[in-house]
């Protein structure tokens, strides 16, 4: 806030980095985009700029004007999500069918009227002590072959290239395959979820855990992006935040399910939410 109590107005520069990544990204107003487009709403005009180097499209910048202080308003977040999804669809159809966006989003706030100011470097780091534990990979491959569909669902849930709602529904389908028979959930399902009661409480989830899982399923399966708009392509920003927050716990539940089911088979699946720590522990 300014000295007079008025919000400082900024432009938010929101960057989508296209893989494969470059070693360095600079956006200081000196490099002009190869092209740009304007998306107008009743209250704002968003500028979407496309940056290339040689024959490579490497970055897309979304300009969000009139942002108070350094907080992106909810309506702008909704519009960013819409633009992000559409630009990815178009790039895949006009540039490269297999293109992916770097999962980490970069943005900054610049005082309105001033030039953008981005300068980041990206370096690949490799753990020299990493042990791939090939025998564990072999054991998992052999022992889970009969349930390879469930394993594929668990794997798909960790694919950042898939829409968030599809990733959640993959985990939900896994639970259905294990515990739902003739449209009824088994007692074993309730027992499994009850074992994570503490984790639900830590996330501030007041609803009964089993009901909460079903509630998110309905929101992902019957996507509603607005008051009268129902679609299948993207969650609302509010739902996206909630599903994203719960996805690690849902992954942990499904991972522990398969680990427990085959606990006597001499293998373990990585808990994706704590991947780095588990790898660190394995290499001691």
pLDDT tens for residues 115-157?
999 999 988 777 787 777 788 788 888 888 888 999 899 999 9
**pLDDT tens across 220-278, in order?**
987 654 444 444 456 777 888 899 999 999 999 999 888 887 767 666 776 543 334 44
Tell me, yes or no, if the pTM score tops 0.75.
no
Q: What is the DSSP letter of 205?
A: -
Any alpha helices (H) in the chain, and if so which ranges? Answer: 74-94, 134-143, 148-156, 164-179, 187-194, 197-202, 209-221, 237-261, 275-282
pLDDT score of 261: 78
Dihedral class, residue 29 (left if φ above 0, else alpha if ψ from -120 to 50, else beta): left
pLDDT score of 5: 57
Statement to judge: residues 27 and 67 lie in one domain: yes
Average pLDDT, the chain: 85
Statement to judge: residues 114 and 144 lie in one domain: no
pLDDT score of 274: 35
pLDDT score of 234: 65
Cα separation, 218 vs 168, whole angstroms: 11
**pLDDT tens across 160-197, in order?**
888 889 999 999 999 999 999 988 999 999 999 999 99
> Helix, strand or coil for residue 180?
strand
pLDDT score of 81: 87
pLDDT score of 223: 62
CB-count exposure of residue 86 (10 Å: 0-12, 13-18, 19+): middle
Q: How many domains does the chain have?
A: 2
More confident site: 28 or 267: 28
pLDDT score of 266: 65
Q: How many CB atoms lie within 10 A of CB 217?
A: 18
pLDDT score of 55: 92
| Spatial contact of 168 and 250, defined as CB atoms under 8 Å apart | yes
Statement to judge: residues 94 and 70 lie in one domain: yes
Statement to judge: residues 58 and 196 lie in one domain: no
pLDDT score of 265: 67
Is the confidence at residue 280, as pLDDT, over 70? no
**pLDDT tens across 80-93, in order?**
988 998 999 899 99
Cα separation, 179 vs 177, whole angstroms: 6
Bridge partners of residue 118, in order along the sequence: 27
Statement to judge: residues 39 and 115 lie in one domain: yes
Statement to judge: residues 182 and 75 lie in one domain: no
User: Domain residues for 85?
Assistant: 9-121
Statement to judge: residues 105 and 212 lie in one domain: no
Cα separation, 247 vs 277, whole angstroms: 18
Both tokens assigned to 97: 């069918």
pLDDT score of 136: 79
């Amino acid at each position: 806030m300014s000295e007079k109590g008025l919000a400082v107005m900024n432009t938010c520069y929101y960057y989508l980095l296209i893989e494969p990544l470059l070693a360095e990204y600079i956006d200081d107003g000196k490099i002009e985009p190869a092209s740009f487009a304007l998306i107008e709403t009743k209250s704002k005009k968003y500028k979407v700029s496309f940056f290339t180097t040689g024959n490579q499209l490497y970055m897309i910048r979304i300009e969000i004007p009139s942002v108070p202080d350094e907080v992106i308003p909810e309506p702008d977040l909704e519009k960013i999500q819409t633009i992000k999804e559409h630009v990815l669809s178009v790039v895949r159809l006009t540039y490269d069918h297999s293109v992916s966006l770097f999962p980490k989003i970069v943005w900054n706030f610049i005082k309105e009227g001033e030039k953008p100011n981005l300068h980041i470097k990206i370096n690949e780091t490799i753990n020299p002590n990493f042990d791939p534990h090939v025998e564990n990979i072999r054991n998992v491959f052999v022992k889970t072959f009969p349930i390879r569909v469930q394993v594929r669902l668990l794997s798909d849930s960790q694919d950042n290239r898939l829409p968030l709602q599809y990733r959640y529904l993959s985990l939900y389908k896994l639970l259905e395959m294990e515990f739902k028979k003739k449209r009824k959930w088994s007692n074993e399902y309730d027992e499994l979820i009850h074992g994570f009661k503490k984790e639900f409480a830590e996330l501030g989830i007041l609803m009964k855990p089993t009901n909460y899982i079903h509630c998110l399923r309905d929101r992902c399966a019957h996507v509603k992006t607005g008051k009268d708009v129902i679609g299948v392509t993207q969650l609302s920003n509010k739902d996206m935040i909630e599903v994203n927050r719960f996805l690690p716990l849902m992954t942990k539940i499904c991972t522990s399910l398969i680990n427990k089911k085959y606990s006597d088979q001499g293998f373990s699946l990585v808990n994706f939410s704590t991947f780095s720590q588990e790898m660190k522990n394995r290499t001691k």
